[in-house]
C-alpha cells in the first residue's frame, strides 16, 4: 500500500515534476492548488495535475479568506519588511500550510510536501507553519532533496512527459498573489544591473504611465480600506481593482536587496501597486486619527510583527498577540483620503475623519487660536530641567547661584 | 546703564519689530544673523538691523559648519520624524543657539532672545539648547510675551518705522535652510485642503516637472554623499546642488500632519529635494553594505535620535552618544548609487560598493551556487523547534510519539 | 449660591486644611475617601470630614476593584518603573480620579480637587486622568496654589481648628495602598544617608527578620496569583496576606533614586513585600510557560506600559491597547511556584505548569535525549553565514577559495 | 604528513579523550588551555596534554585580558540574559576562539577544534567566532561528531589510557571563569527539583552564610569598579576578591530556566557573587549619574547587546558598535556605593558621586526648595493636551465650549 502525500501544487514545472517524482518513489499524490489572486487558469491546472498522475486535485478559491484573514493584518500593521517589502509571499505561505494540513487530515495522508528549494525563505515558512499546526505530520521537500540542475530537471521532465512551459527560457523566479508579485534571479542577481522591463508585469515604468493624473478617494473603516470613490468593495476585490488602477500609473515598483532569514542577501523586484496606494493612504489617515503615543510606539510592534511573518512564524503565540494589538490600535482609523496618482507618485492631497484628533482651533495662528501660549513657559521650564541640571553640573554652577 | 540682549535675527517682520520693542524696553540689542543656506541677502539684512537700532549686527556664514556638524548626523541617522519630516528647522536651532551663547559671552550680554511664538517647537529647541550651553544665561521670548494679534504687530511696526514686507499678506509661516523648507498656516491649516502651488518654492509639481528623466550617480564615503556624477563637492554645496537638480524634477514635497512636542497636531508642508535624493540613495546603499543585524536594530536608534533632535535635545548626553553610534554604524556605507530622477520619483537603478556584503555566488540560482542547501534542513529543525514544542503541548503530543 | 467641589480626601493634615480653605473661599465641599488597602479607620476619617465642614463625605471600599482592575495589570505587565518601583501610588491615582469624576457628576459639582504639591508626579496623574474622563471639569490644586511653608500651614490649621496630627514632627511624606507603601523627604533627601528604621512600616530589616525560612507555594492562573499553599484568595486579600507574611521576612524593601516626570531626581523608599513575592514568582513561572519570542519582546512593551502609568496616562488609547496585550500574553502563565522566604530573600526552589514548554527529553544529556544534535551543523552554517561573509570581505577571501 | 589541529583543551575528560581520538584519526594535536580565572592547576593540565600525546601545549594566563576586554563590557552593558544570567561562559568563548585562531596561525594549523556537544550554545559561539576571525579555517567538533553515550566515552578512555576523573559520577556539567560558574544536568534537569547543595561551589546557602552583616564601599570610575573599601585593584583581582567576600554571604545564586539559541529551554544554576555585587552597585550609582533619557533608552541597547553575546556574535559589526555605545554611556558613572552584604542580600545603603545629577535643592520639600512649582501648571496643560483632545473627541466636546 502506497504512502499518501498532499502536495502544494502550482501547476508550474517544479511541482509538476514533483508529482511524477513522488509517483516514481511509490507515493500516492494529492495535489492542492490555491487561488490567492494570482489570476491563474484553475481548470487547466487541475487537469494537468491529473495528467501528471495525481489521484486527487483540490482547487480552492481562497482569495476572500486570504484578504480578510492574512492581508488585513499586513494593513493593520503597515507591514514592510526592512521598510520596503510588503510581505507578499510571506502572507500566502501560512494559508497554504493551513490548507495542506487540513487536506492531509481529510485525506488521511501522513505526508505533505512543498516545492521550495533549500536557500529561500519559503521552505522555512512552510515547514515551521505546518509543524505549528500538526507537529506529527511529515514534511517532504523534493526540490531541495533532488538537487538537480535546471538541465537535469528538464531532462527528467522530458523523460516523464511533463509539459515544458513555453517560457522555459525565462530567467526569472516569480511568485504572485493579490497583494503583489515578486521576481528574482537571472540578470537581477547583479544589484548594479537595472531591472529590464520584462521583469515587470503588473506595472508600467513611470515614464510609460498615463499622462493624466487620476484623483482617487479611498475610504477606511477600522483600519481597512472599504471604498474606492465611494463605492464599497470587499477587501480582495478592492485590492485587485487598485492593482489595475495604480499599475497603469507606474505605481508600486520596488527594487530591494533584502536580508533573507537563511543568512544571505538577495535582490528582489516587487510590484505592489494596490498595496502602495493602501499603505500610503492609511499611514496618512493615521496622522490625524492616532494619538502621538500610539504613533510613536507602534513602529516597534510593526517591525517585530513584520519580521515574525517574514520569518515564517505566523502561527505562534507572539504573532497571535501582536495581531490582536495591531488590529486594536487600528480601530480609530476611519475616514477618507484623497489621492492623486501620477506617473509613479501616490500623492495625498487631503485627509478627513470623524475621529480626527487634529484640532484647527489649537493649531491655528489666527485669532481663533485656543492654545494657551503662556503654558509653554512652565512646560519648557520642566521639560528642560534635566538638561539644565546636567549643564549646571558640567559648568560648575550651583542652583540659586 | 542698559541691559544687553543678543537676538536671533532673521531680517523678517517679527525680529525687526523685536529690535524696536527691546529698545523701547531699554535694552541694547546685538543682532545675530546666520546664513544656514536659505539664500538671503546678508548685506541688506545687516543694514536693516542697524536701521532698527541694533548696536551691533553679527552676520555669520555657517553653511559649511551647519552641513558638516548638524545635517551630517541627520544623514548618518536617516532622520525622519514620524517617518516623514527630515528635521529641517530642528537642525538649525541648536547651531543658532550655540552662536547666540558664544556672541553673548563675547559681548558680555546677560540676555539672549528668539522670535518664536508660544505654540511651536522652536521655542523649546532654543531655550533648552541655550540652557544646555549656559544654564545661567537669561532667555527672552518677546513674541511669546507680547501676545499681539497680527494687526497689532503691524500697527506697532508702522508706528515705529519698521519696514512692512511686500508679501505681508502671505498667509504662510516659512523657515528654510539648505536641508529644506517648511511652510505652515493659512489655507494649510485645514488638512483636507490640497496645498496650493504658491505654498511651494523649491520644487515644482510632478505634473509640471521636466519631461526627460535624468540619470544621476551619487557616491558615498563613510555614510555621507561626496560626489555627484563623479565630481566632488563639499557637503553644503552638494546638498544645494541636489536641491536645484531634484526640485526641477518635482522631487521632495512632503505634506504631513505631525505631532508637535507641545501637544498639538499641526499640518506642515516641507520641500526637501536634496534630502529626498540623498536619503533614498543612502538607504539603498545600506542594503548591500550593512549587516542584517545592524539594519534591523538601527531603526530604533534612528527613531530615538530623531525624536531627541525634534524635541530640542541636541545638547544632551543621550544625543551625544547616539550621534557617535550612528556615525560609527555608517562607516561601511561606501559606494555608488545610480538614480533616475523623473517627475517626483527617485528611482534607484543600481548600487555597488567595495564593502558589499551581497554575494552573488551565495544568492544565485545558477550552477555557480555556493550555498549549502543541505544546511537548511538542520537550520529549520532548530529554528522551528520552539514553535513545534508549543504545538506539541497544545495538541497533547509527547516527544518521541 | 456656592460652587461645589469634590475633594480627594485622605484624612491627613493637608486635605483637612484644604476643606477649611475651600469653605473660606466660598465653596461647598464634598469629601471623597477611598480605601485602597492602606488600612485606615474610615469611620474616623468620615467624621473628621464633617467636623471640618464638608457637606458630604463619600467613603468607598475599593480594595477589590483596585486589585482586580488596576493592580492586576501591573502583575500582567511585571511593571517596575526603572526596574525598581512597582508603581504603588501610580496605580491608585487613576482609580481615585475616576471616582472623583463619578461623584462630581452625581453631585452636580463643577470642580474636583486634589491635595498634591506642585513638584510631584501625582498632580500630573490626577489632572491628566480627570481630563481624560471629563475634559470639561475644572480641577483645583489648593496645596500647589497656596504655596505655604509647613509652618504657615500649621498656623492656618491651628487658627481654623484643624486637628494637628500627633506625628506632626514626622519628616516623612507617605502614601500607601495594598500594593505597597512609599516614603520620601526628611533625612532620605540625601541619597548617601542610610534610611533609618523608622522610615519603614511594612517590613523589618533582614537582620531583624525571622530566623526560620518559610516555604510557600504560590499558584497562578492566567497570569494572576490565586492560591497560597493551595488555599484560594481573591486578589486583594492574597496581596494583603503576602504583605504580612513576606514583611516579617524582611522582604520588599526598595531604596531608589528615581526620575520623576517633572524633571527631577527624587530618592524614594518603598516597601512592597507582597509585590516582591508575586512578581518574583510570576517571572519565574514565565520561564517555562512563555515562548522565547514573547519572553524576549515583551520587555519593551512592559517598559512602555510602565512609563505610561507612571506618567499618569492610564486613560489613553495606548495604555488601553497595551493592557489588552499584556493580559493576552499572560494567559498561559499557569502553574505553581515553590518559594523559600528567608531574611530578605525570595528564593524560587521549583516551578511546574501544565503549560510548561520545558521539555526534559530535549534538554537532557542522558540517553533519553531526543534532540537531533546533527541539526546543529546546518543551523550553525546558516546562522553564522552573515558573520562569515563579513569576515570574508574584511579578509579579502573569495567564496569557493 | 599529518594534519595539525589546535584544540581548546580544558584538561577534563572530554577534551583529553579528544586528543587521543584526533591522534587515532592521524592528526597532530596542539593543545591550548586558557586560564580565565577558574583557578585550575595549569602545570598539571599541561603535563596531562603531553601525556595524551599532544605535540604542543600552550597554557595562557588570560585573566587580565579577559577581565579588561570582555567582562568589562558586560559591566558597562549591565548584561543579564533574560534578566537573570550575567553571560559567564558566553564571555570566555570569544576570547578562547581568538586564541585558537592566533595559535593556529602561529603553528600553521589548518584546523581548530572544540569539545562542545551538539545541543548547547557554546558550539555556536565557538564556530561563529572562529569563522569571524578566519573564515577559511576548518573547525572540528569531535564530541558532537562521535555521538557516544557517556558509557561509550568512558570505555574509549579506559582503552586509550585516558585518566578517569575521580568525580566521574558527578552528574553535573560545569563551566567556570572569574565572572562566575554555571552548572546544569543531572537532578537539575527537572525544574521542579530544588537544586541540592552539592550543585554549588562558590557560594553558601543564605541560611548557612555568616551571621554578621558586612559593610563594603565600592568605588567606580568611568563605569568600572576600581576600589574595594578604598583599596585599588585591577579588574580581574577585584572580581575574584568579591567572589570570595560575597560568596561567603550567600550572594549570587541564580536558578534559571533559559531559552537557548538552539531552540530549547534549559535549567541552569549559576553562581556569580562578584557580579551580583558589582552590577547591583553600578545600577544604583547610575540612578544619580545618568540622565533620565539615557536611563530609559539604554535598556533596549543592553538587551540587544546581551543577546548578541549570548548568541555568539561577539565579533560582528553590531556588537562592535554597541560596545562603543555602552562604554560611552558609562563614562559619567563615577563615585561610591556603600553596600551591606548579609545572608544573600546586597543592600545599597548610600551612593554619592561628583557627577551626581541628584539635586537636593530641587528635590527637597523644605524651605530650601528651588523648584518652581508654578511651572507645573503649564507643564500639565501641555503634557495632558493630547489626552484631553482625545477625550473631547470621545465626549463630543468642542474646544472653547
Kindly report, residue by residue over B253-275, the tens digit of the pLDDT: 999 999 999 999 999 999 999 99
pLDDT bracket for residue C399 (50, 70, 90): low
Q: Quick check: D400 pLDDT over 70?
A: no
- Predicted local distance difference test score (pLDDT) of residue B170: 78
> Do D293 and A370 make contact, defined as CB atoms within 8 angstroms?
no
Q: Chain A residue with minimal CA distance to C293?
A: A318
| Torsion sign across C-alpha atoms C388, C392, C393, C395 | positive
pLDDT bracket for residue D1 (50, 70, 90): low
In this structure, how many other beta carbons lie within 10 angstroms of the beta carbon of residue B115? 23
Share above pLDDT 90 across residues of chain D, in percent, rounded to a whole number:
85
Please tell me if residue C292 touches chain B, with a CB cutoff of 8 Å: yes
Q: Quick check: D350 pLDDT over 60?
A: yes
CA–CA min distance B158, chain A (Å)? 20
Nearest to C390 among B291, B382, B389 (CB): B291
Catalogue the E-assigned strands of A144-207. 173-177, 180-184
A173 is catalytic: yes
List the domains of chain B with CATH numbers: 4-159 (3.40.50.620), 173-290+332-352 (3.90.1260.10)
Q: Quick check: C368 pLDDT over 90?
A: no
pTM for the model stands at 0.97
CA B328 to CA D318: how far, in whole Å?
A: 10
Average pLDDT of chain D?
94
Arithmetic mean of pLDDT, A84-98: 97
Residues of chain D with Cβ-Cβ distance to A385 below 8 Å are: 362
> Do C291 and B386 make contact, defined as CB atoms within 8 angstroms?
yes
Query: Which tens digits make up the pLDDT trace of B233-245?
Result: 999 999 999 999 9
- Predicted local distance difference test score (pLDDT) of residue D399: 66
- Predicted local distance difference test score (pLDDT) of residue A367: 74
Instruction: Give the neighbours of chain A: at least 3 Cβ pairs within 8 Å.
Output: B, C, D
Share above pLDDT 90 across residues of chain C, in percent, rounded to a whole number:
85
DSSP code for B164: P
Query: Which tens digits make up the pLDDT trace of D61-95?
Result: 999 999 999 999 999 999 999 999 999 999 999 99
Q: Chain D residue with minimal CA distance to A378?
A: D375
Write down the catalytic residue from D79, D89, D92, D93.
D93
> Do B124 and A380 make contact, defined as CB atoms within 8 angstroms?
yes
* 3-state SS assignment for residue B133: helix
Please tell me if residue C370 touches chain B, with a CB cutoff of 8 Å: yes
Q: Chain B residue with minimal CA distance to D300?
A: B300
CA D270 to CA D205: how far, in whole Å?
A: 13
CB of B305 closer than 8 Å to CB of B79: yes
> Do C386 and B355 make contact, defined as CB atoms within 8 angstroms?
no
**Residue B12 assigned ligand-binding role:** yes
> Do A386 and C263 make contact, defined as CB atoms within 8 angstroms?
yes
DSSP code for C86: -
Share above pLDDT 70 across residues of chain C, in percent, rounded to a whole number:
99
* Best residue of A380, A388, A390, A392 to probe chain B, by most B CBs closer than 10 Å: A380
DSSP per-residue letters across A117-147: -SSSSHHHHHHHHHHHH-TTSEEE-HHHHH-
Nearest to A318 among C262, C297, C318 (CB): C297
CA D231 to CA D223: how far, in whole Å?
A: 17
CA D273 to CA D249: how far, in whole Å?
A: 9
CB of C290 closer than 8 Å to CB of C332: yes
**Residue B117 assigned ligand-binding role:** yes
Query: Which tens digits make up the pLDDT trace of C256-282?
Result: 999 999 999 999 999 999 999 999 999
* 3-state SS assignment for residue B107: coil
- Residue whose C-alpha is closest to residue B85's, from B307, B314, B346, B251: B307
Q: Which residues of chain B have pLDDT under 70?
A: 1, 168, 399-401
Query: Which tens digits make up the pLDDT trace of D96-122?
Result: 999 999 999 999 999 999 999 998 999
Question: What does each C-alpha distance from B187 to B252, B255, B272, B377, C160 come to in angstroms?
Answer: 21, 13, 21, 61, 58
Which residues are registered as beta bridge partners of B90? none
> Do D185 and C365 make contact, defined as CB atoms within 8 angstroms?
yes
pLDDT bracket for residue C361 (50, 70, 90): confident
* 3-state SS assignment for residue C264: coil
> Do A362 and D292 make contact, defined as CB atoms within 8 angstroms?
no
φ, ψ dihedrals at A33, nearest 5°: -125, 125
How is residue B74 written as a grid cell?
A: 541627520
Sheet holding D27-35, edge to edge: D56-61, D27-35, D3-8, D111-113, D138-140
CB of A93 closer than 8 Å to CB of A182: no
CB of B383 closer than 8 Å to CB of D263: yes
CB of C286 closer than 8 Å to CB of C230: no
Please tell me if residue B316 touches chain D, with a CB cutoff of 8 Å: yes
Arithmetic mean of pLDDT, C21-25: 96
- Predicted local distance difference test score (pLDDT) of residue B400: 57
Nearest to C380 among D124, D292, D295 (CB): D124
Nearest to A359 among D361, D376, D399 (CB): D399
Q: Which residues of C are documented as binding site?
A: 8-16, 85, 115, 117, 121-122, 125, 173, 182, 258, 270
Write down the catalytic residue from B72, B79, B122, B332.
B122
Q: Which residues of D310-335 are buried (b: 16+ CB within 10 A; e: fewer)?
A: bbbbbbbbbbebbbbbbbbbbebbbb
> Do C293 and A385 make contact, defined as CB atoms within 8 angstroms?
no
Residues of chain C with Cβ-Cβ distance to B391 below 8 Å are: none
Q: Residue C57 is inside which H or E element, if any?
A: strand C56-61
* Close Cβ partners of D378 (under 8 Å, ≥ 6 residues apart): A372, A374, A375, A376, A377, A378, A379, A381, A382
> Do A317 and C294 make contact, defined as CB atoms within 8 angstroms?
yes
In this structure, how many other beta carbons lie within 10 angstroms of the beta carbon of residue A230? 8
Query: Which tens digits make up the pLDDT trace of B97-144?
Result: 999 999 999 999 999 999 999 989 999 999 999 999 999 999 999 999
Query: Which tens digits make up the pLDDT trace of A22-76?
Result: 999 999 999 999 999 998 888 999 999 999 999 999 999 999 999 999 999 999 9
How many degrees, rounded to 5, is the angle at CA D279 between CA A391 and CA C276? 105
Average pLDDT of chain A?
94
- Predicted local distance difference test score (pLDDT) of residue A399: 66
Catalogue the E-assigned strands of D185-234. 214-221, 224-228, 231-232
> Do A389 and D361 make contact, defined as CB atoms within 8 angstroms?
no
Query: Which tens digits make up the pLDDT trace of C128-174?
Result: 999 999 999 999 999 999 888 878 888 999 999 998 877 767 778 89
CA C320 to CA C317: how far, in whole Å?
A: 5
Residue B41, judged by CB atoms within 10 A of its CB (0-12, 13-18, 19+), counts as exposed
How is residue B220 written as a grid cell?
A: 558615498
How is residue A272 written as a grid cell?
A: 505592489
How many degrees, rounded to 5, is the angle at CA C328 between CA C325 and CA C329? 85
> Do A361 and D399 make contact, defined as CB atoms within 8 angstroms?
yes
Please tell me if residue B390 touches chain C, with a CB cutoff of 8 Å: yes
* Close Cβ partners of C268 (under 8 Å, ≥ 6 residues apart): C85, C182, C183, C184, C188, C254, C255, C256, C257, C258
How is residue C396 written as a grid cell?
A: 579579502
Instruction: Give the neighbours of chain C: at least 3 Cβ pairs within 8 Å.
Output: A, B, D
Average pLDDT of chain B?
94
CA D38 to CA A88: how far, in whole Å?
A: 52
Write down the catalytic residue from D55, D134, D144, D173.
D173
* 3-state SS assignment for residue C194: coil
- Predicted local distance difference test score (pLDDT) of residue C98: 98
> Chain D neighbours among C 136-195 (CB < 8 Å)?
136, 144, 147, 149, 173, 184-185, 189-195
CA B279 to CA D354: how far, in whole Å?
A: 42
- Predicted local distance difference test score (pLDDT) of residue B399: 66
Q: Quick check: C183 pLDDT over 80?
A: yes
Question: What does each C-alpha distance from C251 to B130, C120, D55, D167, D210 come to in angstroms?
Answer: 46, 27, 57, 38, 19
Residue with cell 499586513: A74
Q: Which residues of D are documented as binding site for L-aspartate?
A: 117, 121-122
DSSP per-residue letters across A315-362: SSHHHHHHHHHHHHHTTT--EEEEEEEETTEEEEEEEE-TT----HHH
Instruction: Give the neighbours of chain D: at least 3 Cβ pairs within 8 Å.
Output: A, B, C
Residue with cell 548568541: D311
Residue with cell 510557600: C216
Please tell me if residue A293 touches chain C, with a CB cutoff of 8 Å: yes
CA–CA min distance A43, chain B (Å)? 31
> Chain B neighbours among A 195-214 (CB < 8 Å)?
195, 206-207, 213
Q: Quick check: C338 pLDDT over 90?
A: yes
pLDDT bracket for residue C297 (50, 70, 90): very high
Q: ipTM > 0.85?
A: yes
- Predicted local distance difference test score (pLDDT) of residue A237: 98
> Do A359 and B258 make contact, defined as CB atoms within 8 angstroms?
no
| Rg of chain D on CA atoms, in Å | 26
Q: Quick check: C15 pLDDT over 80?
A: yes
Amino acid at each position: 500500500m502506497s504512502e499518501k502525500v498532499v502536495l502544494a501544487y502550482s501547476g508550474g514545472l517544479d511541482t509538476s515534476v514533483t508529482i511524477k517524482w513522488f509517483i516514481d518513489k511509490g507515493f500516492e499524490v494529492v495535489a492542492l492548488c490555491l487561488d490567492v489572486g494570482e489570476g491563474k487558469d484553475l481548470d487547466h491546472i487541475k487537469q494537468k495535475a491529473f495528467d501528471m498522475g495525481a489521484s486527487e486535485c483540490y482547487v480552492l478559491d481562497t482569495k476572500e479568506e486570504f484578504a480578510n484573514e492574512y492581508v488585513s493584518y499586513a494593513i493593520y500593521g503597515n507591514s514592510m519588511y526592512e521598510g520596503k517589502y510588503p510581505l507578499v509571499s510571506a502572507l500566502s505561505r501560512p494559508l497554504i500550510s493551513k490548507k495542506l494540513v487540513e487536506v492531509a487530515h481529510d485525506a488521511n495522508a501522513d505526508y505533505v510536501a512543498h516545492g521550495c528549494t533549500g536557500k529561500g525563505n519559503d521552505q522555512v515558512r512552510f515547514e515551521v507553519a505546518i509543524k505549528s499546526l500538526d507537529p506529527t505530520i511529515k514534511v517532504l521537500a523534493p526540490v531541495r532533496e533532488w538537487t538537480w540542475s535546471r538541465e537535469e530537471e528538464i531532462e527528467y521532465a522530458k523523460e516523464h512527459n511533463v509539459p515544458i512551459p513555453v517560457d522555459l527560457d525565462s530567467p526569472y523566479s516569480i511568485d504572485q498573489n493579490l497583494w503583489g508579485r515578486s521576481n528574482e534571479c537571472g540578470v537581477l542577481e547583479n544589484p548594479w544591473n537595472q531591472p529590464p522591463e520584462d521583469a515587470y508585469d503588473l506595472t508600467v515604468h513611470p515614464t510609460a504611465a498615463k499622462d493624466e493624473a487620476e484623483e482617487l478617494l479611498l475610504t477606511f473603516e477600522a483600519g481597512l480600506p472599504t471604498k474606492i470613490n465611494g463605492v464599497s468593495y470587499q477587501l480582495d476585490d478592492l485590492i485587485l481593482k487598485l492593482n489595475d488602477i495604480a499599475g497603469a500609473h507606474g505605481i508600486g515598483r520596488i527594487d530591494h536587496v533584502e536580508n533573507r532569514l537563511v543568512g544571505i542577501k538577495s535582490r528582489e523586484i516587487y510590484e505592489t501597486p494596490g498595496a502602495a496606494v493602501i499603505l500610503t493612504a492609511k499611514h496618512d489617515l493615521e496622522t490625524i486619527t492616532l494619538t502621538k503615543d500610539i504613533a510613536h510606539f507602534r513602529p516597534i510592534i510593526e517591525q517585530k510583527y513584520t519580521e515574525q511573518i517574514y520569518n515564517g512564524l505566523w502561527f505562534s503565540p507572539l504573532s497571535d498577540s501582536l495581531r490582536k494589538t495591531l488590529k486594536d490600535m487600528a480601530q480609530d482609523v476611519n475616514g477618507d483620503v484623497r489621492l492623486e496618482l501620477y506617473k509613479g507618485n501616490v500623492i495625498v492631497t487631503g485627509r478627513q475623519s470623524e475621529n480626527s484628533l487634529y484640532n484647527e482651533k489649537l493649531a491655528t495662528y489666527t485669532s481663533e487660536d485656543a492654545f494657551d501660549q503662556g503654558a509653554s513657559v512652565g512646560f519648557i521650564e520642566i521639560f528642560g530641567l534635566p538638561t539644565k541640571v546636567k549643564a549646571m553640573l558640567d559648568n560648575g554652577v550651583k542652583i540659586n547661584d
